[in-house]
Amino acid sequence: MWRVFPGLFRRRIMLAHFKKKKRFACLFLALLMLTGCQGSRGEEIQEEKPEGEIREEENREEENQEPQDVRLPQVLSMEDNYRTYYEVFVYSFFDGNGDGTGDLKGLVEKLDYINDGDPATTEDLGCDGIWLMPVMPSASYHKYDVMDYYAIDPEYGTMEDFENFMAECDKRGIKVILDLVINHSSSEHPWFKEAAAYLAELGDGEPSLTDCPYVDYYHFSKEQKTGYSQVPGSDVWYYESQFSYTMPDLNLYNESLREEIGKIVDFWLAKGVGGFRLDAVKEYETGADSANIEILSWFSDMVKGKREDAYLVGEAWTDISTYEKYYESGIDSLFNFAFADSEGIIAKVVKGSSPASGYGKALQNIEERFKEYNPDYIDAPFYTNHDMGRSAGYYSGEHSPSQTKIAGALNLFMSGNAFIYYGEELGMKGSGKDENKRAPMYFYEDKEAEGMCRGPADMDGIKMKYGSYESQEKDPYSVYNYYKKAIRLRGIYPAIRRGSVENLEQFADDTLTAFSKSWEDEKVYLFCNLSPEERVIPLDGLEGEIQGIAEELCVDEKVPALKEGTLTLPGYGIVILK
């Protein structure tokens, strides 16, 4: 007997404050009319309807039942490295002191927006990890050029503010990973300033590491190679600076520098940081993947020797055939760029430029590929980040709101640590120059509201496509509430977060992707309709494996139905079967 699990509807009760009161009256009348044909709890209503019609009232018949045995998102230990991370650019998130720049006090003030620490509530997003973009002193607004690896940038606050932030995250079960930039430092870092001054005074002579050990912390040369800048005050010496002359590249083969990096890691681990996001790992030695893998291996071994459960994720912005090899280093994760950005797998299948079937196939394929290099890898799916145009701009036309929503779910329903860039859950916009991609978090419509940030100085004016958090919070079908439910489902089902994927090719086509995910004794089946039209899907061959609908994630009031082995899935709908 196919049935619908009551757990879905019990969770709807928890969201009932989003629904208009008049709907309860309609539901009550519908229940009165259906009482005569209603079966026992959890069974389907045996009412004749035209084939393929979405039977919304049928799937809602349990909304007035008592919410017993509600399945809540798992509360993870800090050692667990399968989480949902929220990437925060402190500068643009929330201003806690009124100067127009985001800071750590402001972030603490808004921590309950990310996670309030209570899995039974539904007011927070439910993310249980934060990736904190650089917070160390820097001459730039983005802070990817570090002047001091042992301090907090004064724009963001004090070390006491950071310690308070960490304590508040710990109360809420949020694991924090810190952006650690060791590919380069700032040209204002004391190491570089001392080395540059020494070489300027030295002239054409040969440097002595006894006189200035910091010379070997960087790549200096008397030849102006590609990506090299001139040492200030010298017409003889040049230094490698592949990104910018303000970002001199570090020599990560120098043993003294490695010892210093080990001390930096000790310092931040002692502050409670749960791991590190490593910037630009394929640039450690430009164009030398084998050398970069060796350096990553050293770093991973060093950190794991200090804290085994520390989480490490690397940024290797290149094609998958290259970055998959970096798993040889033993690093936990590498950001999965193949699925990200406007031309990644997710956006392509949602836009229809690639068949939907390719998504499930790719999920299974990456498992096989990554395991070849590291059997213990943890994938790091993400959809956008601070260097990419925001996803609300990927889609246009009448279906763009639905496409924006379901694309976010395709990211969140991948295994591993899924990452969300702040504001994506609101459908924020921003493209072109980097400053536009790092606009103020859209908490309120009023830009002058208390706590709103002014954003980077060179940012263009950006007209948002969707409302602020203040307005979306009240709309049950907003981008925000869709993301919130997707995150919640990810937290409820370990198989979604950790499971091994089997592509269900027999059901997939140009607009439908289907796959199962298994973890320990749990197995779920996911069907995703990537078209605006309703799909009717005979579940041939799954009769003995699936009991019914466990959960649904839909873009509007239409919901799926399952009767006599046939699944009806509304446009841009996702269903989880068990």
Catalytic residue among 315, 332, 379, 552: 315
317 within 8 A of 325, measured Cβ to Cβ:
no
The span from the CA of 495 to the CA of 368, in Å, is 17
| Helix ranges (DSSP H) in 425-464 | none
Among residues 153, 249, 279, 552, which one is catalytic?
279
Three-point CA angle 269, 275, 276, nearest 5°: 110
Backbone angles phi, psi at 190, to 5 degrees: -55, -35
- Cα 140 to Cα 419: distance, rounded to the nearest angstrom: 25
Annotated catalytic residue 279 = yes
Q: Whole-angstrom Cα distance, residue 422 to residue 94?
A: 11
520 in active site: no
Q: Measuring CA to CA, which residue among 457, 455, 459, 461 is closest to residue 422?
A: 455
- Pairing mode, if any, of strands 311-314 and 333-334? parallel
Question: Which residue matches tokens 């002239």?
Answer: 203
Can you read off the two tokens belonging to residue 239? 């230094």
Residue 455 region, left (φ>0) first, then alpha (ψ -120 to 50), else beta? left
20-25 contacts: CB < 8 A, separation 24 or more?
A: none
- Helices 479-492, 400-412: axis angle to 10 degrees equals 20
What are the distances in angstroms from CA 126 to CA 86, 117, 444? 10, 8, 20
Residues designated as active site? 279, 315
